[in-house]
Copies of this chain bind each other. A is one copy, B any other.
Amino acid sequence: MEFQTKIGKSTRDQIFVHGYDLTEDLIGKITLADMAFLGAMHRKPTENESKMLNALLVAICEHGYTPSSISTRLTYLGAPESVQSAVAAGLLGAGTVYLGAMEYVAEMLQDAFQKYGEERVLQEIASLVINERQESGKQLPGFGHPVHKPEDPRTTRLFAIAEELGFNGKNSQLLKEIHRQICEKKGKTITLNAVGAIGAIMADMGIDYRVVKSFAVAARAVGLVAHIVEEVEVGRKESFGQQLFDYIEEHTDYRG
C-alpha cells in the first residue's frame, strides 16, 4: 500500500510542508494563521491575504464565557494533567448552533452564483436567494444577534478591512445586498452578524465552504488558551470551574 499526501515529509535534515522548506521558507516568515491558509490553498498567502485572515480569526477566536469555554474550564477541573482534553472539550460544542452559520453563509453564496450565474445583477440574485429560502422554509444564515443590535461591531470592522485589502468581492456584496433587502422587507434593521461576514469574506478569499468552519474551530482552540490560563492563575479552589460546580450543587432542586 502507498499512502499519498501533499502535506509534509521529513528527511534527516529537512522538513517539507506543502512544498515549502519549513525552516527556510515558513518559520519566521509566516504567521500561525497562514499555516491554515497554506493547508487549504496549497500556497502561502499574499501579505493582504495574511492580514485579512488574521483579522477574521482574531474576530472569531474569543467570546468570554460561552458553553464552549465553560466546558473547557470544567474539563480542566477534572483533568488538569491533560490540557489537550480541556481544549478538545471546548471545541466539541462548536456544532451547528453557534458556528455552523459561517459555513452555511459561504455555502449559500457560493451556491447562489453557481445556480443563478454571475452575470445577473446582485439585486436579482439576492432576491432569488431570499425567495428560495422563504419557500422552502429554511432560515437565512448570518443574521441576528442576541446582544449586538442593530449592528455587530465586528461586521463593520471586518468589511472595512476587506474593502481596504481588496477582498470586498461578489460574495460579500451579495450578502450585503441580501441584508439590505431583508431589512427593507421587515421595515427595520436586522443585524448582519460577524459569523455571516466572516463566511462571506472567506468565500471571497476563495476558500471552499466545506472547509470554512475548520478555520473557526482552529481559532477557537487558540482562544481557549486564555481560559485555561485563567484557571491556572487563580488556582483550583478559586477557579471558575470549582465555583460554578459548587454553586450548582447548592442550587439544585431534585424532582425525582
Query: Chain A interface (Cβ within 8 Å of chain B)?
Result: 1-20, 22-23, 26-28, 30-36, 38-40, 51, 54-55, 57-59, 61-68, 70-71, 74-75, 77-89, 91-99, 147-149, 151, 153-154, 156-158, 161, 208, 210-211, 213-215, 217-230, 232, 240-241, 243-245, 247-249, 251-256
Contact = CB atoms under 8 A, between A and B. Distances in A.
Nearest to A73: B67
Given A7-B227, A79-B82, A251-B3, A218 B213 contact: no
Contact of A64 (B35, B61, B252): B252
Given A14-B153, A221-B222, A62 B23 contact: no
A14 to B, nearest CB: 6
A161 B95 contact: no
A99 B71 CA distance: 18
Contact of A248 (B11, B12, B65, B148): B65
Contacts of A218: 87, 218, 221-222, 224-225
Contacts of A247: 1
